[in-house]
């Protein structure tokens, strides 16, 4: 049986990771805040079953909102999640399978029937311009090679058949759009709202430009993705998606989009004149469940979704720097906002090795990381307290840090200087990078390394306070 959003929701519920809300909620007033509380206070995903103004609709939030939930999607545990993801991807790509029909065609709306306002997009934060979606996987094809790409982009509800979009420069979608703009042709795009988490992991995995990310999705799913032809544009879409929106992005046309609260917690960066989608057709399942992904800090689903593939890709890259690195872990902390800060754990072997690894972490296919902290094998990179302790006791700022000025900045990084005209697409920022070595001296310098051994309170491990308290 094809794995889809419904099988994933059932698996989450069985694992105790999902709560249901039957009381009426309102997409403009409280859906965002309630979803956020379900995640932050209950650590649960939530299924809203009664949405004001949207009879018959259900919407799910935070289904990819923590490592333990993503682990459910791969049938594993949080601790084994990255290993499982890596082993599924190491099996290679899984070609798609074309089918003639699928559940996503149960309802088809074209022409004057198209009405995006029927889908319960919601206002996520106080600063937002209105209702948004963060769960749309944008599927496009390179006009020259036909290679498919999927990536998540925010969509502003701008009218019954118009959606705003933010396309950060250097994204694969931007490369494809630039090719269409050069031909002065509209870019066909199919947006998938709601599917199994494996699709979302594939959409956030930055594969090489020449890799079809639906074949990546198949490998993560462990079964070929079944695809059906679109009704109005020359693309194929996953047959078991909840909702598919068929659209075109016209060339060289812009409209004001935003503000919208991003994973940084800020809303202005990225907003301004941006491209938009003209919706041609909506196809969906009967009783479609909308994925009301919630943006903003401190637990942005985007941070969890972006973070997991990033940790895996960076681990693969860093372990081979200079031939071999005694690399223990790579952590994109879910609490920092925007994956701009990454912590790596290693036992350096020789002098200089840490800086080589830091540089590689700062210049991968991901542009997000701009501060990377290296800690040693006796410091838990998941524990902020231990990382801070390591920074304060092992990092001599004059000799253990470096800054690279003038590097590519992320569009959403408000701290990076905007070098293109304000509010004009594409927004180009100039940032910088910092590497911080909070490791012990390398293994080669045994004496100096020993000087940094962490002392243990006397008798720990042999005596238990419980046995002494009367």
Ligand X SMILES: Cc1cc2nc3c(=O)[nH]c(=O)nc-3n(C[C@H](O)[C@H](O)[C@H](O)COP(=O)(O)O)c2cc1C
Among 172, 285, 433, 440, binds Mn ion (CB under 5 A): 172
| Nearest approach, Cβ of residue 17 and ligand X (Å) | 19
- Please state the closest distance from residue 209 (CB atom) to Mn ion, in A: 6
Q: Which residues of 420-451 are buried (b: 16+ CB within 10 A; e: fewer)?
A: eeebebbbbbebbbbbbbbbbbbeeeeeebee
Omega cis (within 30) before 38: no
Select the span of 79-87, 125-133, 244-252, 300-308 touching ligand X (CB under 6 A): 300-308
Q: What are phi and psi of 172, to 5 degrees?
A: -60, -35
Q: How far apart are CA 293 and CA 197, in angstroms?
A: 12
Smallest distance from ligand X to CB 150, Å: 7
215 sits near ligand X (criterion: CB under 6 A): no
Task: Please identify, using beta-carbon distances, which residue of 119 and 166 lies nearer to ligand X.
Answer: 166
Segment interacting with ligand X, rule: CB under 6 A, options 162-170, 178-186, 314-322, 454-462:
162-170
- Binding mask 175-194 toward ligand X (x if CB under 6 A, else -) reads --------------------
The residue among 243, 228, 240 whose CA lies nearest residue 192 is 243
* Nearest distance in Å: CB 5, Mn ion: 22
Q: Is 398 exposed, middle or buried (0-12, 13-18, 19+ CB in 10 A)?
A: exposed
Q: How many CB atoms lie within 10 A of CB 330?
A: 25
When binding is defined by CB under 6 A, the residue of 47, 51, 163, 167 that contacts ligand X is 167
Q: In terms of CB distance, is 117 or 145 closer to Mn ion?
A: 145
Site for ligand X in 112-151 (CB under 6 A): 134, 149, 151
Nearest distance, CB of residue 230 and ligand X, angstroms = 20
Q: Is the dihedral of CA 220, 222, 224, 225 positive or negative?
A: negative
Measured at the alpha carbon of residue 189, what is the angle toward residues 31 and 179, in degrees to the nearest 5? 130
The helix or strand, by DSSP H or E, that contains position 21, with its residue range, turns out to be strand 18-21
Q: Which residue from 45, 48, 81, 80 is spatially nearest to 62, judged by alpha carbons?
A: 45
Identify each DSSP E strand in 225-275 by its residue range. Answer: 226-229, 236-238, 243-249, 255-257, 272-274
Q: Which of 172, 196, 340, 394 binds ligand X (CB under 6 A)?
A: 172
Q: Which of 6, 131, 148, 171 binds ligand X (CB under 6 A)?
A: 171
Which CB, 236 or 306, lies closer to ligand X?
306
C-alpha distances in angstroms, 416 versus 223, 341, 400, 468? Answer: 41, 14, 23, 56
| Site residue total, ligand X (CB under 6 A) | 19
Among 54, 58, 148, 153, binds ligand X (CB under 6 A): 153
Environment class of 219 (CB within 10 Å of its CB; exposed 0-12, middle 13-18, buried 19+): buried
For position 6 contacting ligand X by CB under 6 A, the verdict is no
Only segment of 15-23, 168-176, 331-339, 455-463 that touches ligand X (CB under 6 A): 168-176
Question: 3-class SS at 280?
Answer: strand
Regarding 138 and contact with Mn ion (CB under 5 A), the answer is: no
Beta-bridge partner residues of 343: 331, 373
Count the site residues for Mn ion by CB under 5 A: 2
Binding residue (CB under 6 A) for ligand X from 204, 264, 274, 401: 204
Of 33, 223, 247, nearest in space to 128 by CA = 33
Segment interacting with Mn ion, rule: CB under 5 A, options 38-46, 130-138, 143-151, 184-192? 143-151
Four-residue CA torsion sign, 408, 414, 416, 421: positive
Beta bridge partners of 330: 344
305 binding ligand X? (CB under 6 A): yes
**Residue placing its CB nearer to Mn ion in the complex, 107 or 211:** 211
Q: Does 154 interact with ligand X (rule: CB under 6 A)? A: yes
**In this complex, which beta carbon is closest to ligand X, that of residue 48 or of residue 199?**
199
- Whole-number Å distance between alpha carbons of 91 and 164: 37
Residue number, 149 or 390, with CB nearest to Mn ion = 149
Per-position x/- string for 395-434, each x denoting binding to ligand X as judged by CB under 6 A, each - no binding: ----------------------------------------
Site for ligand X, rule CB under 6 A:
134, 149, 151-154, 166-168, 171-173, 204, 206, 293, 301-302, 305-306
């Amino acid at each position: 049986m094809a794995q889809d959003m419904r099988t994933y929701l059932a698996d989450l519920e069985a694992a105790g990771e999902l709560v249901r809300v039957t009381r009426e909620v309102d997409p403009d007033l409280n859906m965002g805040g309630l979803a956020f509380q379900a995640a932050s206070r209950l650590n649960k995903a939530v299924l809203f079953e009664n949405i004001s103004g949207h009879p018959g609709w259900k919407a799910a939030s935070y289904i990819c909102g923590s490592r333990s939930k993503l682990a459910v999607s791969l049938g594993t545990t949080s601790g084994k999640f990255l290993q499982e993801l890596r082993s599924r991807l190491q099996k290679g790509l899984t070609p798609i399978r074309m089918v003639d029909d699928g559940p996503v065609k149960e309802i088809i709306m074209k022409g004057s029937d198209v009405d995006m306002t029927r889908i319960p997009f919601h206002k996520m934060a106080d600063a937002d311009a209105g209702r948004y979606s963060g769960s749309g996987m944008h599927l496009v094809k390179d006009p020259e090679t036909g290679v498919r790409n999927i990536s998540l982009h925010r969509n502003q509800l701008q009218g019954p058949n118009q959606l705003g979009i933010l396309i950060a420069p250097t994204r694969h979608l931007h490369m494809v759009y630039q090719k269409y703009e050069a031909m002065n042709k509209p870019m066909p795009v199919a947006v998938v709202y709601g599917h199994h988490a494996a699709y979302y992991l594939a959409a956030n995995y930055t594969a090489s430009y020449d890799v079809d990310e639906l074949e990546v999705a198949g490998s993560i799913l462990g079964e070929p993705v079944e695809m059906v032809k679109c009704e109005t544009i020359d693309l194929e879409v996953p047959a078991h998606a909840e909702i598919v929106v068929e659209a075109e992005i016209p060339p060289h046309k812009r409209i004001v989009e935003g503000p919208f609260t991003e994973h940084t917690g800020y809303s202005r960066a990225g907003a301004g004149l941006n491209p938009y989608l003209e919706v041609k057709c909506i196809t969906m399942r009967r009783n479609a469940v909308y994925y009301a992904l919630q943006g903003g800090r401190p637990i942005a689903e985007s941070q969890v979704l972006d973070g997991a593939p990033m940790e895996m890709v960076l681990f693969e890259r860093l372990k081979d720097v200079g031939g071999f690195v005694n690399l223990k872990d790579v952590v994109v902390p879910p609490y920092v906002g925007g994956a701009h800060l990454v912590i790596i754990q290693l036992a350096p072997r020789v002098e200089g090795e840490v800086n080589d690894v830091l540089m590689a972490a700062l210049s991968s296919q991901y542009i997000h990381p701009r501060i990377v902290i290296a800690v040693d094998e006796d410091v838990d990179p998941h524990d902020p307290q231990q990382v801070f302790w390591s920074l304060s006791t092992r990092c001599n700022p004059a000799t253990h840090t470096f800054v690279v000025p003038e590097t590519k900045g992320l569009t959403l990084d408000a701290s990076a200087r905007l070098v293109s005209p304000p509010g004009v697409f594409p927004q180009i920022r100039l940032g910088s990078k910092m590497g911080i070595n909070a490791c012990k001296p390398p293994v080669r310098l045994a004496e100096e390394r020993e000087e940094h051994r962490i002392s243990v309170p006397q008798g720990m491990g042999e005596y238990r306070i419980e046995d002494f308290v009367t």
